[in-house]
Amino acid sequence: MLRMENVSKSYPHRRQAVTALDGATVDIPEGDFVSVVGPSGCGKSTLLLMLGGMLSPSSGRVLLDGQSIYDLNSDRRARLRKENIGFVFQTFNLVPYLTALENVQIPLYLAGVTDHTQEQRASALLDRVGLGDRLDHKPSELSVGQQQRVALARMLANDPAVILADEPTGNLDPETGRQVIEFFEEFHREGRTIIMVTHDPEAAGRAKRKLKLAAGKIVAETNGTPAVETT
C-alpha cells in the first residue's frame, strides 16, 4: 500500500544543510500496524509527514497504491489525503470554539456531506469512543484524554484506509494512553493500515512491526527483516 523508495529530506539551517531523513526505503503493506521509534530528531515525524503527502522529499519517491504521491499537483494530493488518510497528533488540533460534535463534523463538511448526515455520523463516532454524552462540550470542558478521543473520532470521519499517528499517547497518563492504543488495535482489526510514531515502549510493542530510526536512517526492524541499506 505505502512505499518509500530511497527517500531523503534536507533542510537549510544557518547556511548549512541538515539531513532529517537519509535514503529511507520501506514497504508498508495493506493492513500493517507499524510503530516508528528512535531518539528525538532522528527523522520520525519527517517520515510520517512524507507518508501522509504533507512534506515533499528532497529526493526519492513515496507511493500510495502504486501512485507516486509527489508527482501529483497540490489539489490532487490534497484529495488523495482526504480520501485515504487519517491523521492523529499529540496536540489534538481541535478547534477550541467548536463543540466535540462540530469538531468531528469538520472533515465531513469539507467533503460536502449533508448537514443531517454530518451530525448523524459525528454523533455515532463520538459514541463509539465513549463520548456520546459529551457532544456539546468544547475542548476546554473536556479532559486531555477526552480531547484525544474527539481527535480519534474526527480522524475516522472520512473512513480512512490509512491512519498516521504522531505521538498519540504523548500527552496522556499511562492508563489513558493504554485506552488510546486499544482503539488503534481495534481500528487495525477492521483492516486499516496504521503507522504510529511513539516514544512509548509499551505502545510501540503493541504494533505488529517496529521500525527504528537513527540519524535519519532506518536501522532495524523488530520482525527480523534487515533494514534496506542505500548508498
> Per-residue pLDDT tens for 110-120?
989 999 999 99
pLDDT tens digits, residue range 118-138? 999 999 999 999 999 999 999
The confidence band for 227, taking pLDDT boundaries of 50, 70 and 90, is very low
Superfamily of domain covering 2-94+159-221: P-loop containing nucleotide triphosphate hydrolases (3.40.50.300)
Asked if residue 230 has pLDDT above 70, the reply is no
Strands of the chain, DSSP E: 2-13, 16-28, 33-37, 59-64, 67-68, 85-89, 162-166, 193-197, 209-214, 217-221
- CA proximity to 109, closest of 74, 158, 146: 158
Of 18-32, 195-209, 215-229, give the lowest mean pLDDT range.
215-229
pLDDT at 226 over 50: no
pLDDT confidence of residue 224 = 35
pLDDT at residue 31 is higher than 60: yes
Domain ranges of the chain: 2-94+159-221
User: pTM here?
Assistant: 0.89
